[in-house]
Structure 1
């Protein structure tokens, strides 16, 4: 499967060799859900520094926001009160620069329309890599990438080439929750993705 405008380096979906406790993640996620929501809800766990600490100045204008270097990034209050989620973020911080981290909640019987994310693929210069960890799924949730379902299970960690067309359909009666972790790709991350891709091919 080929991305829209770039040459393919890796597969469009690659399961990485990391496994996390979906039960612990869900417990802490539920503790952060203080309100009802319709359609889509985002809980920031790591954000631009000036949004977390309002005493900090806004960063200067940037010509290119794609690689996350345009600002500093801080853990939010929600992440700091969630010890297991913090341990997951800290694991990746040990290896590369982690930028935006969020919990993404999709309401029952809702759809995220097909779209692309222009900077979320290793093939793109100054890209950001987004890893996805499903927390709460049901059998009626389908994540489509290049019109093909991605079979992700709770607690798994996936690299998805989001520069390609993708959409989410939740036909179930339960919300869907994913954790997404954006990071600036480096040699460590490229190696993990490459080796995981190779293992799938074999």
Structure 2
């Protein structure tokens, strides 16, 4: 029974983590990076595989499994390097675990991301990374449904979401939605943080 309880503790589909970030600083830096118009969905990469961020670096050798992010080295992009506050948030997590992919995800006004799953983005799978979401531009007309239930995320908050479960996003207003997402290789520090935050 004790083992089952431990498993249940780390399989909740949403957990608000004990971090709150400065929404004014987040918004200012995001606006500088998000100046281009786009249709429907837009991704601004802030950290990625080293050979993609710096094309002078060699491709990593083929891996048997790419799911957990350990197959390559990861580098900050120029966009992250010039964004002092966003970089400080990434470094906060880098002190304790390996940060892989970092992006600003933008959803256009009156748009929808259809329901889907991300099979390698949750603590419920053996080899995975997990995604932390920090809303930057978000309001009650922008709905993130996880397992058919809205996740009430406010700007500046920090959330772990089990994205191996079905999720869908709707933006029902005339503003774009912007989230900062930080993917990390889960270690004991991160798992314990999520457990304690429930």
Specify the TM-score bucket, using the shorter chain as the normaliser.
Answer: over 0.9
Deviation (angstroms), 1:147: 0.3
Q: Distance in 2 between matches of 1:78 and 1:34?
A: 12
Aligned to 1:86: 87
Aligned to 1:200: none
Deviation (angstroms), 1:170: 0.3
Aligned to 1:3: none
What TM-score, normalized to structure 2? 0.94
Aligned to 2:166: 165
Deviation (angstroms), 1:98: 0.3
Q: Distance in 1 between matches of 2:138 and 2:69?
A: 29
Secondary structure, in 3 states, of the residue corresponding to 2:163? Answer: coil
- Contact kept, 8 Å, 1:121 with 1:129, in 2: the verdict is yes
- CA-atom RMSD, angstroms? 1.3
- Contact kept, 8 Å, 2:109 with 2:174, in 1: the verdict is yes
Classify 1:79/1:166 alpha carbon distance in 2 versus 1 (closer, same or farther; 3 Å): same
- Contact kept, 8 Å, 1:102 with 1:179, in 2: the verdict is yes
Q: Distance in 2 between matches of 1:140 and 1:153?
A: 12
Deviation (angstroms), 1:112: 0.3
What TM-score, normalized to structure 1? 0.92
Secondary structure, in 3 states, of the residue corresponding to 2:29? Answer: helix
Deviates more, 1:26-35 or 1:11-20: 26-35
Aligned to 1:14: 15
Deviates more, 1:91-100 or 1:7-16: 7-16
Runs of 4+ aligned residues of structure 1 deviating over 2 Å after TM superposition are 6-10
Q: Distance in 2 between matches of 1:82 and 1:62?
A: 32
Number of equivalences: 192
Aligned to 1:178: 179
Q: Distance in 1 between matches of 2:101 and 2:64?
A: 19
Aligned to 2:3: none
Q: Distance in 1 between matches of 2:149 and 2:36?
A: 33
Aligned to 2:46: 45
Unpaired runs of at least 5, structure 2: 1-6
